[in-house]
Amino acid sequence: MTVTVWKYPKRDEWKVIMARPQMDLISLSRTVSDILESVRCEGDDALRRYEKQFDRVVLDALQVTPAEMEEGIAAVPESLKKAIRQAIDNIRKFHASQAIEVKKVETTPGVWCWQKPVGIEKVGLYVPGGTAPLFSTVLMLAVPARLAGCHEIVMCTPPGKEGKIAPAILYAARETGIDRIFKLGGVQAIGAMAFGTESVPQVYKIFGPGNRYVMAAKQQVSVQGVAIDMPAGPSEVMIVADSGADVRFLAADFLSQAEHGADSQSILLTTDRRIADLFPAEIERQLDRLPRREWVEKSLSHSSVVLLERETDLADFVNAYAPEHLIVHRTDAEEWASAIVNAGSVFLGYYTPESAGDYASGTNHTLPTSGYAKSYSGVNLDSFTRKITFQQISSEGLKNLGPVIEKMAEAERLEAHKEAVTVRLQSIHS
């Protein structure tokens, strides 16, 4: 499998290179809509039917039982348990640092305003588990949810062919305080959390990455009264390399993203011809060692190496693409990255693999894809809260601000608004 190499493409060719893998969106949307409507109308019966159809498993009970939890947790090696606990500590430290201090502001003498973050009461977490059991996603979603003070946290993840959840997912769930886990994947899982069924409680906001069907389902339920974290679809990485970059590191980063799935995408940018010439052969060498080669090869079919002529083109290309992950293999990585305004998460320097953010450095790996990094942030502590504003005005404060309100209300011809102030001022002056 040879990755495509673009040498000195003109700017009007960039759009072609940046194109994400395409699907029949009309057909996809219709399929997703039909499944969601079935779940809304038929509840658990629809969930069991779709689990049999898509995950090829017949389920008696949708929720993971305490006995299943204990059985799964017992199967996790102690070395992995230790690694998960360390990752949880790092993720908790980073997200706890994002907490906002409640600060009262006196905007006018006697007029106080402030806002208070409050955890969303009911949230749903979607954890992919089809081609790979992504227990790391449990950590990325459950840790900030707990820190934010969310009262009810529901998790859905697809079961294996034996109707069981991957042991590492169960252990991660227990360590982060999640005890309501449902054996549901894909669109049907999103529908269950959005609408509620006999078994699955309805939530107020849904979090988690997934394939195009999951992303489409989240977008559809978001216009039906349920909030979502962001449009998060097939994973992607963009790598920027200077002449000092190690081709082995570049290829490893490129392939690590490609193995997420057949519709993932990796793009390497460089102005160094030697890097561009050596890279395809190194990809082939490392590809031979990967067990998920079939998935990776499909991903490589829409991945590429781009050799650009000017250094100034690199940042322009990155910002136009708006990658989910950006890895900067440069000696001046931090300085160079100051020009980047569109990216989900940035990894600086030769020794910062994207894998660190996926698992254990502390940052969140649930990030905007498909160019949505131009307008969305990745999941963070704020994602699990809403902010309520408060204000309190003393009698002196109303004397100071009241005439301003009266004048504005009068100009908008809203006499009742004006009167709400006037009646108070009259009381104060009487």
pLDDT at 1 exceeding the cut of 70 = no
The response to whether 257 counts as a known ligand-binding position is yes
228 to each of 80, 178, 196, 225, 247, how far by Cα in Å?
Answer: 31, 19, 15, 10, 38
Residue 256 and residue 195 share a domain: no
Q: In this model, does residue 337 exceed pLDDT 70?
A: yes
Look at residues 163, 198, 229 and tell me which one is the last residue of a structural domain: 229
pLDDT at 288 over 90: no
Segment 75-94 shows an average pLDDT of 98
- Contact present, 363 and 123 (Cβ < 8 Å): no
Distances (CA, A) of 221 to 97, 188, 257, 297: 31, 12, 28, 33
pLDDT at residue 57 greater than cutoff 90:
yes
pLDDT value for 130:
64
Query: What residue type is 263 in one-letter code?
Result: D
List C-alpha distances in Å: 178 to 144, 208, 360: 12, 15, 19
Q: Contacts for 50-54 with beta carbons within 8 Å, 24 or more apart? A: 50/186, 50/187, 50/188, 51/159, 51/183, 51/184, 51/185, 51/188, 54/185, 54/186, 54/188
Classify burial at 195, counting beta carbons within 10 Å of its beta carbon; exposed 0-12, middle 13-18, buried 19 or more. Answer: buried
DSSP-based three-state secondary structure for 346: strand
Residue 379 reports pLDDT greater than 80: yes
417 annotated as belonging to a binding site for a ligand: yes
> Are residues 119 and 174 located together in one domain of the fold?
yes
Same domain membership, residue 105 and residue 148: yes
Return d(Cα 24, Cα 33) in angstroms, integer: 14
| Of 116, 108, 119, nearest in space to 401 by CA | 108
The CA angle 256-9-296, to the nearest 5 degrees, is 20
- Assigned token pair, 370: 């498909």
Lowest mean pLDDT among 123-132, 151-160, 262-271, 300-309: 123-132
Q: Which of 226, 187, 232, 174 is nearest to 208 (CA)?
A: 232
223 and 248 part of one domain: no
pLDDT digit string, tens, across residues 388-406? 999 999 999 999 999 999 9
Within this chain, do residues 225 and 250 fall inside the same structural domain, yes or no? no
Give percent helix, percent strand, percent coil of the chain, each to the nearest 5: 50, 15, 35
**Residue 297 belongs to a domain:** yes
The verdict on residue 126 lying in a domain is yes
> Is 68 annotated as ligand-binding?
no
Among 362, 386, 406, where does a domain finish? 362
96 and 168 co-located in one domain: yes
Q: Which domain holds residue 45?
A: 25-229
- Examine the domain organization and report whether 300 and 219 are in the same domain: no
Given this model, what pLDDT does residue 317 score? 98
User: Could you give phi then psi for residue 237, rounded to 5 degrees?
Assistant: -140, 145
Same domain, 91 and 201: yes
Percent of the chain scoring above 70 in pLDDT: 99
Judge whether 383 lies within some domain: no
Rounded to 5 degrees, what angle do the CA atoms 225, 226, 232 make? 135
CATH code for the domain in which residue 178 is found? 3.40.50.1980
Q: Which two tokens stand for residue 199?
A: 């078994």
What CATH number is given to the structural domain containing 422?
1.20.5.1300
Task: Check: CB of residue 392 under 8 Å from CB of residue 122.
Answer: no
Residue 260 among known ligand-binding residues: yes
Same domain, 353 and 412: no
Residue 368, domain member (yes or no): no
Total structural domains within the chain: 3
**Rounded CA separation 153/311 (Å):** 47
Given a cut of 90, is residue 132 above it in pLDDT?
no
Please answer whether residues 182 and 68 qualify as being in contact, where contact means their C-beta atoms are separated by less than 8 angstroms: no
- Is 198 annotated to bind ligand? no
Average pLDDT of span 230-235:
82
Using DSSP bridges, classify how beta strands 304-307 and 4-7 pair: parallel, antiparallel or unpaired: parallel
Helix (H), strand (E) counts: the chain: 17, 14
Q: Supply the pLDDT for residue 24.
A: 72
| Residue 380, annotated as binding a ligand | no
CA angle 373–324–31, rounded 5-degree value: 85
Final residue belonging to a domain, choices 229, 261, 285 = 229
Token pair belonging to 293: 């080669």
pLDDT of residue 86: 98
Q: Looking at residue 377, what is its pLDDT? A: 96
User: Which residues are 108's β-sheet partners?
Assistant: 111
pLDDT value of position 131: 64
* Strand partners for 240: 269, 328
- What whole-number distance in Å separates Cα of residue 136 and Cα of residue 391? 41
Say if residue 107 is in the same domain as residue 171. yes
Residue 188 in marked binding region: yes
> Which residues are known to be catalytic?
324-325
Tens-digit pLDDT profile for residues 37-56? 999 999 999 999 999 999 99
**In-domain check, residue 377:** no
In this structure, the chain runs to a length of: 430
Report whether 429 belongs to an annotated binding site.
Answer: no
Task: Classify residue 367: in a domain, yes or no.
Answer: no
Q: Mean pLDDT for the chain? A: 95
pLDDT at 232: 76
In a domain, 407, yes or no: yes
Any bridge partners for residue 306, and if so which?
A: 6, 269
CA-closest candidate to residue 322, choices 359, 376, 268, 276:
376
- Say whether 53 counts as a known binding-site residue: no
